[in-house]
Structure 1
Amino acid sequence: MSAKASKAPRNWPRLSRERLLKLRICDLGLRIEDSTLGAPLKQLYRELEQKQLRFRPHVWLSDEWFCPDGVPGFAMPFFLAHARLRRLEREFMLEVEGGDRAWCMKLMRHETGHALLNAYRLDQRRDWKQTFGRPSIPYPDTYLPRPYSKRYVLNLPNWYAQSHPHEDWAETFAVWLNPGSDWRRRYRNWPALKKLHYVDELMNEIHDKPPRLRNRQRDTPVEKIRTTLGDYYADKIYRYGLDSPEFSDTDLTRLFSADPEYRRHEKASRYIRRHRREVIVIVERWTHEYRYRINEVLNEMIKRCDEMQLRVIDSKQDTFPDLAACVTMLVMSKLHSGGFHIAL
């Protein structure tokens, strides 16, 4: 049972983390108009204007990034609306999804693709289905991406275009909309280029037409989220943990040793702690995995290394590349076996 929620005082950004976590999200008084999100939203509308598109999605704050079915708009996570909440998100998740301008724009273009598809009901068209597949295919719980496939564009992490025809559309639209993507050159000789040309032709066809759907519906708006920040992060950590890669004792003994001859060497757990940040950066770069999940693997490694009383064998220069390679292998193994859970 969660602690009793406290109404947010005006000075809530200056509260301690403990007191902040007891506040309900709906009581924080968050609005896009009062945040720094106005600038990227204006940029999004400029990009749509530059493409001569009449469509403009409506946007609201909620608990995460999403576009509901049948709604010509999308939601952005509430934590992007205030610097204190972005810091809190980073404390728990080690990163802020959409926390910098470039990442935010990628996500906004992606969600705009979903919203535009809803507005014009594009997935009902025969040519859309021929290009992206059957939209009626149920979303899977997990998907198994092919990292080297050239049939899909690359915009968001985890090869998200491969998860469902709707995501393939949204990712392709996002790349097409991005004025800096240079998609004709970037995807030259890729099968994905055919999809980009289709988007280009389709947008030229409908650019000045009014949307078929014009509702302003908002799903789970921030002012109705009565969950406390503490419960929000407890649930989020649980969901992210579903995809955490696993390791074996054999993986650890290939890196470290419990042999008494190394008892004067540095503890393996301490070594991992010292190099945690560097490992996370390298593994994230090569796997596109969330930092939180990589960090959880390292936390479990640290715990198990202490239980097994493991010590460093080689010099720092020899051990670090092997450690980074090991964690990268674990993440990629997860990718090729269980796949990634879909974030709906």
Structure 2
Amino acid sequence: MRGFESTPPEVREILGRRIDQLGLKLEGSPVEHFVLQLQDELRRKGLFKFQAVCYLTDEWGCPDQEPIIGIPFYLADPKLAILEKEMNDLEDAREIMMYLRHEAGHAFNYAYRLYATLEWRKLFGPFNRRYREHYRPVPFSRRYVRHIEGWYAQKHPDEDFAETFAVWLTPGSSWRKRYRGWPALEKLKYVHRTTREVADRDPAVGHGKTDLTVAEMKLTVEQFYRRVARQNRAAVDLAMEGDLADIFGKPRRRKDGLRPAAEIVQAHREDLTDKIAYWTGVRRPIVRALVEAIIGHCGEQKLYGEPAKETAYLVELTAYGTTLAMNYLTRGRFVLK
């Protein structure tokens, strides 16, 4: 996570303001047209009774068993979006729609209480299964669809349904062809059939209760992001000295033709973050913090690399980062103590 000093002056002006006093609202905001697109996609699928109601909060999500979608507050204001991009990573248009479709799956499930039916439980598993933040996926399992980065459908039956719904809802997904021969296809067929069956019915739960709203967020913008920074730094509190020296060679003085290892990693920071997050499913801010920690350790150790070996370094760094990320995904720590 970078410092506030790298943000534009007009963005730094809002750091001291409380989030609940920024006047944020969904209507008329930059993210509103994505919500309208989601609603249009639902109507095109014949879901006129189900309303994908959204509100602004601190992160993506639906409150437990409440058919209402929470959207991160920073997407509602251009200055906050710039700050989020600088401090963490800002979702692009494709990612915003992916998250909206996923959360719409949760909301649809809760609105019609599908999770309480026998057929749902047989296909997806018990809804009351303990929800674990860290889980052990089976990569490339054909029992689950892939929508959000990583293997998110394997996290919990509720996530499995939400991911399946999102794939079904995505325009042009060609889900019948894409998942032909996969056990996951039966789940997609269930979503397709069930949405048709309830299309003309009013939801069993009509109005969802919000969790934390922007009107209840009393922290200043700076306090909010400093808290996020502490959480991310705590997640990557690990020693890398020996590992990075193995990759780049022992610490040494700079010689002609050598390039600081920190510069090599920095030049490919975005690609490393993207690929490790995509193939592991660990949240991008955590992966970004990991990559930035690698950059920091390379600088502290005064490691250098040979330009001719840059591709080899990147291959090894990707494998190294992926291994650490999978530890975090399954155990909650990058390195087990």
Letter in 2 for 1:269: A
Structure 2: gaps (5+ residues): 1-6, 333-337
- Contact 2:282 / 2:325 at 8 angstroms: preserved in 1? no
Structure 1: gaps (5+ residues): 1-12
1:51 Cα offset (Å): 1.5
Q: Give 1:23's match in structure 2, choosing from 11, 14, 17.
A: 17
Q: Quote the Cα distance in structure 2 between the aligned partners of 1:193 and 1:214.
A: 29
- Contact 2:137 / 2:151 at 8 angstroms: preserved in 1? yes
Q: Quote the Cα distance in structure 2 between the aligned partners of 1:247 and 1:188.
A: 45
- Is residue 2:86 matched to residue 1:91? yes
Q: Give 2:224's match in structure 1, choosing from 220, 224, 232.
A: 232
- Contact 1:258 / 1:310 at 8 angstroms: preserved in 2? yes
1:247 Cα offset (Å): 6.3
| Percent identity for Structure 1 against Structure 2 | 33
Letter in 2 for 1:139: Y
Q: Deviations over 1:80-137 (max 9, x none)?
A: 11111110000100x21xx332211111111111111111111110000000001111
Count residues with an aligned counterpart. Answer: 324
- Contact 2:67 / 2:207 at 8 angstroms: preserved in 1? yes
Q: Quote the Cα distance in structure 1 between the aligned partners of 2:35 and 2:253.
A: 61
Letter in 1 for 2:289: E
Q: Secondary structure at the match of 2:41?
A: helix
1:16 Cα offset (Å): 4.0
Name the counterpart of 1:204.
196
Name the counterpart of 1:333.
323
1:252 Cα offset (Å): 1.7
Q: Quote the Cα distance in structure 1 between the aligned partners of 2:114 and 2:142.
A: 24
- Contact 1:269 / 1:302 at 8 angstroms: preserved in 2? yes
Letter in 2 for 1:324: L
Name the counterpart of 1:185.
177
Q: Give 1:45's match in structure 2, choosing from 39, 50, 58.
A: 39
Q: Secondary structure at the match of 2:54?
A: strand
1:259-274 aligned within 5 A? 263-264=255-256, 265-274=258-267
Letter in 1 for 2:324: K
Q: Quote the Cα distance in structure 2 between the aligned partners of 1:334 and 1:112.
A: 32
Assess, with a 3 A threshold, how the Cα gap between structure 1 residues 262 and 139 changes in structure 2: closer, same or farther. Answer: same
- Is residue 2:110 matched to residue 1:115? no
Name the counterpart of 2:4.
none
Q: Give 1:154's match in structure 2, choosing from 125, 143, 146.
A: 146
Q: Relative to structure 2, which stretch is displaced further, 69-78 or 294-303?
A: 294-303
Q: Quote the Cα distance in structure 1 between the aligned partners of 2:46 and 2:259.
A: 62
Assess, with a 3 A threshold, how the Cα gap between structure 1 residues 300 and 38 changes in structure 2: closer, same or farther. Answer: closer
Name the counterpart of 1:3.
none
Q: Relative to structure 2, which stretch is displaced further, 274-283 or 129-138?
A: 274-283
Q: Quote the Cα distance in structure 2 between the aligned partners of 1:258 and 1:332.
A: 23
Name the counterpart of 2:128.
136
Q: Quote the Cα distance in structure 2 between the aligned partners of 1:129 and 1:103.
A: 29
Assess, with a 3 A threshold, how the Cα gap between structure 1 residues 50 and 234 changes in structure 2: closer, same or farther. Answer: same
Q: Give 2:26's match in structure 1, choosing from 32, 39, 44.
A: 32
Q: Secondary structure at the match of 1:60?
A: strand
Name the counterpart of 2:301.
308
- Contact 1:283 / 1:327 at 8 angstroms: preserved in 2? no
- Contact 2:66 / 2:110 at 8 angstroms: preserved in 1? yes
Letter in 2 for 1:224: E
Q: Relative to structure 2, which stretch is displaced further, 267-276 or 218-227?
A: 267-276
Normalised by the size of structure 2, how large is the TM-score?
0.86
Q: Give 2:51's match in structure 1, choosing from 49, 52, 56.
A: 56
Q: Deviations over 1:12-36 (max 9, x none)?
A: x996444321111111111111212
- State the superposition RMSD in angstroms: 2.6
Letter in 1 for 2:61: F
Q: Deviations over 1:20-76 (max 9, x none)?
A: 211111111111112122222222112111221221121111111111123221111
Q: Quote the Cα distance in structure 2 between the aligned partners of 1:329 and 1:48.
A: 40
- Contact 1:157 / 1:288 at 8 angstroms: preserved in 2? yes
Letter in 2 for 1:174: A
Assess, with a 3 A threshold, how the Cα gap between structure 1 residues 18 and 194 changes in structure 2: closer, same or farther. Answer: same
